[in-house]
Chain A
């Protein structure tokens, strides 16, 4: 039966020819091969987000009067609603974690080198989009934490010179965070961001298909010197099956996390209540949050906040362009390795500090 369908498709589209690259794709085997799983894991969690997100849309109502109540309804009245929402929240956090881990592993293995610069750039843009998903989705339950996180987050956007204020008003749908903000964020979260992400994701995957998997420079050098040591695995089906197994386990872990630690809803947002003590952004924004807290109010003649925002903007831009600074020689290798270790140490330290700080 399957063969008949395959033959039918082959006669019309040249199915075998289309699928040939997949069959020829090889995964290099070396001591760092485990890191190749991270991108696929991020992709899988994105798939979980799409499925659970569509399910949540069946009951969610995007308005200031109804959003909180509709999430409450999902958590308490809809059968397995708590499970679907908790998986959506857990998977969101894990997806961001794996996206970061994937980015750092690619950086450490220097897989962004020629010809894969654009694969890196598309991946970085996807990471920014994922953070956008996190930021916009966080507001949707319309609870106190989300309300103030959005207030602070959009206020920081307002600090950017020249375009900041207009951007803030655009994001909020007005001067303040109101129901209009919720409506906008809902639109960003379920229409705008998914649309852009789908296109970029296809580009990212197509580029990976085009260039194949990158082996780290040290392994490449060793294989060039001793070709008999080169070891590879077919992507399809061997590596694919291993990935599916990892995804299957991940789904099990997600279900367990959602059951053991269902996501809380908190109290409904009240625009005229004081911000609760100890309020913090989600962990993936903590390193920026903590840095901004540490910068004094005035540095020379420039506002501390503005300086922080500008520095993070600059750092993000340099990071996006990382492949273009690596010339592929020994000197570049030392430089990028040093920068990487510094960035990872900084992000981890600031996240931990932000977590324990009062």
Chain B
């Protein structure tokens, strides 16, 4: 669009008017985009279940077997060992977040995705996992097996 020259309008004033109009327009566009950008961020879901969960019942597992239980929104691994002990740990592999399982033939925790191995304390012993699995505490209360997070020292 061609600007018509008006000799009575000084360039300084025109620049000021353009600045105010353009700046106002830009500010309004930002105010339109802001809610959209905030909308795109999903709300944080509270991690239901807290620090303690009933992982199973006594007698549910045979020796040398395991189950996956829900710990909040994450899976947990409960192992009943061949020498009749309960072990619980996070079931999320520290490599790329697959869910691990207990191998009764090897008596170790194994991740099927990339052949990662952990011992029954959750320590990474072979394969790609960079860190141990978070180990949980296990208590038996009545006939319920209670799993809780270890308190940070």
List the interface of chain A (C-beta within 8 A of B). Answer: 55, 58-59, 77-81, 83-84, 237-238, 248, 251-252, 255
B38: chain A residues at CB < 8 Å are 79-80
CA–CA, A237 to B3, complex, Å?
13
Assembly CA distance A218 to B74 (angstroms): 74
Q: Footprint of A on B, CB under 8 Å? A: 1, 28, 32, 35-36, 38-43
Question: Knowing A55-B36, A84-B35, A251-B32 touch, does A79 contact B1 (C-beta < 8 A)?
Answer: no
A58, B1: Cβ atoms closer than 8 Å: no
Whole-angstrom distance between the alpha carbons of A251 and B32 in the complex? 9
In whole Å, how far is B38's beta carbon from the nearest beta carbon of chain A? 4
Measured CA separation A58–B43 after assembly (Å): 12
Interface SS of chain A: helix
Instruction: Give the secondary structure class of B's interface.
Output: helix
A80 and B39 form a contact (CB under 8 A): yes
Contacts of A238 in B (CB 8 A): 1
With a cutoff of 8 Å between Cβ atoms, the chain A residues found around residue B32 in the complex are: 251, 255
CA distance A58 to B40 in the complex (A): 8
Smallest beta-carbon distance A336→chain B, Å = 39
Nearest 4 interchain pairs by C-beta = A80-B35, A79-B38, A80-B39, A77-B43
In the complex, the answer to whether B41 meets A79 with C-beta atoms within 8 Å is yes
20 new A-B contacts at CB < 8 Å, known A55-B36, A78-B43: A55-B39, A55-B40, A58-B39, A58-B40, A78-B39, A78-B42, A79-B35, A79-B38, A79-B39, A79-B41, A80-B35, A80-B36, A80-B39, A81-B39, A83-B35, A83-B39, A84-B35, A84-B39, A237-B1, A251-B32
* Cα A110 to Cα B41 with chains together (Å): 49
- Least CB distance from B43 to A in Å reads 5
Q: How distant is the Cα of A83 from the Cα of B35 in the complex, in angstroms?
A: 8
A81 to B41, CA, bound (A): 11
Residues on the B chain within 8 Å of A79, using CB: 35, 38-39, 41, 43
Q: Tell me the complex Cα distance, A58–B28, Å.
A: 25
CA distance A237 to B43 in the complex (A): 43
